[in-house]
Amino acid sequence: MTNIELGQLNITLTDQSLRKIGEKVIAGERITPEEGVILFEKGSLSWLGSLANHVREKLHGQKTYFNRNFHIEPTNVCVFSCKFCSYSRLYAHKEEGWELTTEQMLDIVRKYDGQPVTEVHIVGGVHPKLTLEFFADLLRKIKSHRPDLHLKGFTPVELDYMFRKAKVSVEEGMKYLHEAGLQSLPGGGAEIFSADIREQICADKVDAEGWLKIHEVAHALGMHSNATMLYGHIESYHHRVDHMERLRNLQDKTRGFNTFIPLKFRNKDNEMSHIPESTIVEDMKMYAVARIYMDNFPHLKAYWPMLGRNSAQLTLSFGVNDLDGTIDDSTKIYSMAGSEEQSPSMTTAELVSLIRQVKRQPVERDTLYNVINDYSDSVIVDQQVNPVHN
């Protein structure tokens, strides 16, 4: 029996391989892919949680970030047919879907005039009529209406399609959108990088190399981005570790990723509905291993509209230091996939109180993690949060 010190904690371990991993993590050393798989296979939930929490508190102390953002989903019509997707309507049935005009999207932006939102997240299906030029024009118009709004948008799935249709290289296309106002890329479209799994769940969209290349080019332009992983369906622990390894390697090269976001597969109304959803124990393990493995990713995010509020709160003890945003529009991708959050919206006061209930320190950030408001000393009056620091 061996004891290792985990900060204040003294954990008893019988397994030598886990002991070695624990010692490496405490010493700030990188763990190998084989060790990543061992964590999933042998680590107890409490031990993984302690180790992940050690890493989290070393990086961020008690700070737990959120931002004030809103989403624009230009269309749910999509030429692709990912089996896990409950959201898209195939292009062949486009009359069942929606498609917003530029004016309708600008109306959404105008709705937030005078409100302290810092970011708009633009993401949707891949509609063949919505071209590179269409989106560049939209970005320019949003920027000219509200220059302070950070424009985060488009997954490599959308970008790869736009660039190929416009017959431009990734470098040319990314530069063009960046010059039109695009500042960051969200993390979507990554799913599981392994070609075996992609073949079974999302065979026709951009592959791992294409996804990684687009983020690499964005980073070279000085843009930042996030990365997701869709877990809890047909993948093995090896596939999850391979996915995280590829992201960790790219991050070593570019340092352009801000946040890693594990996304729990939800099984309502899609072609993978027969697959049971992961348990809460499996979810917390996923977050903990991600925090331990992704040693060069500054932030780990739990997307609460997908996980539900209670599970999102729990993740804050398993490595997570970011709860995304105070979304208050009708973000549909998760409610349509069976998330508990049927109309995801949360006020700042609610989000602050959710974080405080688990004794963490709520901090409002912008997209690049600059602090907007630190709510550690604030008071909540009638659900209004009055920040002490501005």
Backbone angles phi, psi at 92, to 5 degrees: -60, -25
Shortest distance (Å) from residue 200 CB to ligand SF4: 14
Residue 18, phi then psi, degrees to nearest 5: -70, -40
The 3-state DSSP class for residue 253 equals helix
Length of the chain: 390
**333 part of the interface to ligand V47, by CB under 6 A:** yes
Measured N-to-C along each axis, helices 45-60 and 16-26 cross at an angle, to the nearest 10 degrees, of 10
Question: What letter does residue 94 receive in the DSSP assignment?
Answer: G
65 binds, among ligand V47, ligand SF4, none (CB under 5 to 8 A by kind): none
**Strands, E assignment, 68-145:** 69-72, 77-78, 89-90, 119-122
Q: Which does 205 bind (CB under 5 to 8 A by kind): ligand SF4, ligand V47, none?
A: ligand SF4
In 3-state terms, the chain is what percent helix, strand and coil (to 5)? 45, 20, 40
Q: Does 174 bind ligand V47 (CB under 6 A)?
A: no
Q: Which is nearer to ligand SF4, 35 or 160 (CB)?
A: 160
Instruction: Examine residue 188 and tell whether it contacts ligand V47 (CB under 6 A).
Output: yes
Nearer to ligand SF4, 211 or 375 (CB): 211
Contact 101/129 with Cβ under 8 angstroms?
no
Closer residue to ligand SF4 (CB): 36 or 153: 153
> Interacting stretch for ligand V47, rule CB under 6 A, among 163-171, 208-216, 246-254, 259-267?
259-267
Spatial separation of the C-alpha atoms in residues 112 and 81, rounded to whole Å: 33
Q: Is residue 36 part of the contact set for ligand V47 (CB under 6 A)?
A: no
Least separation, in Å, of the C-beta of 99 and ligand SF4?
13
Alpha carbon distances (Å) from 69 to 132, 169, 220: 24, 31, 25
Q: How far is the CB of 123 from ligand SF4 (least distance, A)?
A: 8
Please tell me the distance from the alpha carbon of residue 25 to that of residue 383, in angstroms, as a whole number.
Answer: 40
- Rounded to the nearest angstrom, the gap between the alpha carbon of residue 204 and the centroid of all alpha carbons in its chain is 22
Residue 187 binds ligand V47 (CB under 6 A):
yes
Binding partner selected for residue 191 from ligand V47, ligand SF4, none, CB under the kind-specific 5 to 8 Å limit:
ligand V47
Choose among ligand V47, ligand SF4, none what residue 126 binds, the Cβ cut-off being 5 to 8 Å by kind: ligand SF4
* 60, 63, 266, 291: residue in contact with ligand V47 (rule CB under 6 A): 266
Q: Which of 4, 13, 85, 130 binds ligand V47 (CB under 6 A)?
A: 85
Helices 208-220 & 156-166, crossing angle to 10 degrees? 80
Contact between 337 and ligand V47 by CB under 6 A: the answer reads: yes
* Site for ligand V47 contains 86 (CB under 6 A): yes
Nearer to ligand SF4, 91 or 257 (CB): 91
228 is a contact residue toward ligand V47 (CB under 6 A): yes
Choose the one of ligand V47, ligand SF4, none that binds residue 261, judging by a C-beta under 5 to 8 angstroms depending on kind.
Answer: ligand V47
DSSP state of 91: G
**Which C-beta is closer to ligand SF4: that of 85 or that of 170?**
85
By the criterion CB under 6 A, which residues form the site for ligand SF4? 78, 80-82, 85, 87-88, 125-126, 157, 202, 205
Q: Where are the alpha helices (DSSP H) in 273-388?
A: 280-293, 304-307, 309-315, 332-335, 348-357
Residue 35 binding: pick among ligand SF4, ligand V47, none (C-beta 5-8 Å cut-off by kind):
none
* Site stretch for ligand V47 (CB under 6 A), options 5-13, 214-222, 236-244, 265-273: 265-273
Residue 206 contacts residue 156 (beta carbons within 8 Å): yes
CB of 306 to ligand V47, least distance (A): 6
Helices H / strands E in the chain, number of each: 15, 17
